[in-house]
Amino acid sequence: MIEHDVLDTGLGDADDDDFDAAVESFDAALPENRYLDRELSWLAFNQRVLELAEDPRIPALERANFLAIFGSNLDEFFMVRVAGLKRRIVTGLAVPTNVGRAPQDLLADVSREAHRLQLRHAEAWRSEVRPALADAGIEILAWSELQDEDRSRLYDFFQAQVFPVLMPLAVDPAHPFPYISGLSLNLAIRVRNARTGRQEFARLKVPPMLPRFVEVSREGERVRYIALEDLIANNLGDLFPGMEIIDHHAFRVTRNEDVVIEEDETENLIQALEAELLRRRFGPPIRLEVAEDMDEVTRELLVDELGISDQEVYRLAAPLDLRGVFQISRIDRPELHYAPHVPTTAVAFQPGDNNERPDIFSVLRHGDVLVQHPYESFATSVQAFLEQAAKDPHVLAIKQTLYRTSGDSPIIEALIDAAESGKQVLALVEVKARFDEAANIVWARKLEKAGVHVVYGLVGLKTHCKLLHVIRDEDGMLRSYSHIGTGNYNPKTSRLYEDFGLFTSNAEVGRDLTRLFNELSGYAIEKKFQRLLVAPLHLRKGLIRLIDDERRNALEGRPSGVRIKVNSMVDEQIIDALYRASQAGVPIEVWVRGICGIKPGVPGLSENIRVRSILGRYLEHSRIFSFVAGGDAQVYIGSADMMHRNLDRRVEALVRVVASDQLAQLDDLFSLAMSDDTSSWWLGSDGEWTRHSTGEEGQPLLDLQDHTMANIQRRRRTRTVR
């Protein structure tokens, strides 16, 4: 592998230095306090998720699902963002944040906001979601609410299915305080020795391999559950015979689980990553969640033994760890879920009159195809494309990037089939994809055993781009067929994440991908691409140039406008370019799912910028970059968010969309998302997000995802009728 500073994907234009100098002079004129803090903006995003859980118009089991998503999101935020911030403070490497705050002050702000949100999260379960489930016949009961016959039945279950796997750990001079694994749910137990009268402490881990909620009874669709920790806590006498149970309380520890690898100092990335994954388990604690009724003696013991501050202790109403509600949210009650949706096959890939699958290569020779998941099927587009390529005797080579994929992935199997049939197959596996590292190592080794050429990208960079490139021999000439996407090659998440993918046989795109894959697997140095914008160097500068072109167009009285859809918008240089364009009168619309550092609507700075966010049954994941360009629209889709890591430390790729019908499709989608008649959250200049979900007379506003679903189904029916 080569060092990332050898990878030069800059624009390479002669006037780069002049352009950079001009940008710096512009930036110097912008006000200092012009960004929103990224960490607090992320917490605001998770609050929007929580607001969905609190919405009584959403089906009850979907509300439970959003509660669990909130908890899972917050866990990752602590394990990565809070852990990283704390590590920088401890090591003395912390610098002021993007809004000029001292890291210690930001940590206090984050802690204060996280405390508020976790209390709101617990209250949403207690007073809103749990009662809504009970009204629908799904009850989550406490032990005190059970009848004697229920307790007797549960005791038998406890003895047979739970007691044998429990492992109480004593804490005394002969037994040091045990290691508490990250995100595990535990009981802190105080007992009194009947013989000596001494009080003792024990820790009991709630077995994670057992269902979090135990069924108490079922009558038709009415079902009652009790939390596993509640069942265990009320049968502790069997675990401590001869001891008096004084008290017991649930607690949970979050640890620093971010992976840090010094790639420059290791010869084997896989071995280094495996070692780091092992170390991850023993990261320092950064959050302690305890039951709100925990006594001070137990709390102080945990704080002292874990070495955390009072600021890092979160007192919450039971139950802790509402990720467990994922189990409840999967209950098969269709009326309590969103209406089922089956992805349709994209019009271009639909079977013909003989009901046979079309030849995808033939389809692409007639023009580009743009597919939107999950409204359009991943299986009959991306997966079918790769499977056809793997079987086609005229296909000579397949090259693909893999960032995250599912454990039983047909994508992996197709690559293996292609290699075993004698094709040249290259898989660029990003083993450093956060929290998927272990799974990716397994699949990388499986691919290697099948004869696939597996590479791990460039030292110092994550390969995040979504690329699939097929080389086919057609009458002695080689032809390229390509797919560039905004989402991972993962059949499971493709049913949950909204993403776009462009299929094309365009020769320029084929040459671009050939050059880019050569960079990623070898030593080629490519400075320019025709239809791609590529990070780490080319992409930021290319986008800033495109934004600046809109600024000049506005000043010259030409049509101008910028539309950007991303997951996160925090890169200061991109934001500043948007501010400069806004000052020149360019209308700018930003559609962001998560973090946003822009302050919209500030007079003299950003009054021409509007920022909206949409959350719903599907996770908005596609990235779109659209520029009016004086009337000759330039529109790109791809893998990159506007974050430092994407623009500086990842290999990303955007591809230009050129077909007029596809440009219209993307434009219509954006117009609908930004419409005042569409349900969304609006960002104010103070960083506050306001939900707009009902009209002036209380009627629900249009749901973008429902509308898109119906529109694509209608498009399919129109094709069928024809």
Annotated catalytic residues are 464
User: 682: part of which helix (H) or strand (E)?
Assistant: strand 680-683
Find tokens 């269709």 and name the residue: 334
Q: Is the dihedral of CA 169, 174, 180, 186 positive or negative?
A: positive
Q: Nearest 5°: phi and psi at 599? A: -105, 100
Alpha helices in 193-283 (DSSP H): 228-233, 269-280
d(CA 371, CA 715): 13
d(CA 64, CA 133): 8
Find tokens 């979900």 and name the residue: 693
Nearest CA among 235, 230, 281 for reference residue 258:
281
Nearest CA among 238, 190, 229 for reference residue 207:
229
3-state helix, strand, coil in the chain (%, to 5): 40, 25, 35
d(CA 249, CA 238): 17
Answer yes or no: are the C-beta atoms of 163 and 156 closer than 8 Å: no
For strand 185-193 and strand 199-205, is the pairing parallel, antiparallel, or unpaired? antiparallel
Alpha helices in 136-216 (DSSP H): 148-157
Answer yes or no: are the C-beta atoms of 609 and 59 closer than 8 Å: no
d(CA 26, CA 576): 9
For strand 395-402 and strand 466-474, is the pairing parallel, antiparallel, or unpaired? antiparallel
SS3 string of 271-318?
HHHHHHHHHHCCCCEEEEEEECCCCHHHHHHHHHHHCCCHHHEEEECC
Nearest CA among 158, 161, 149, 299 for reference residue 237:
158
Burial code of 432-466, b = ≥16 C-beta within 10 A, e = fewer?
Answer: bbeebbebbbebbeebeebbbebbbbbbbbbbbbb
Answer yes or no: are the C-beta atoms of 158 and 231 closer than 8 Å: yes
The residue type at 109? D
Find tokens 């790769």 and name the residue: 386
Inter-CA distances, 591 with 646, 668, 670, 682, 689, Å: 18, 14, 8, 10, 13
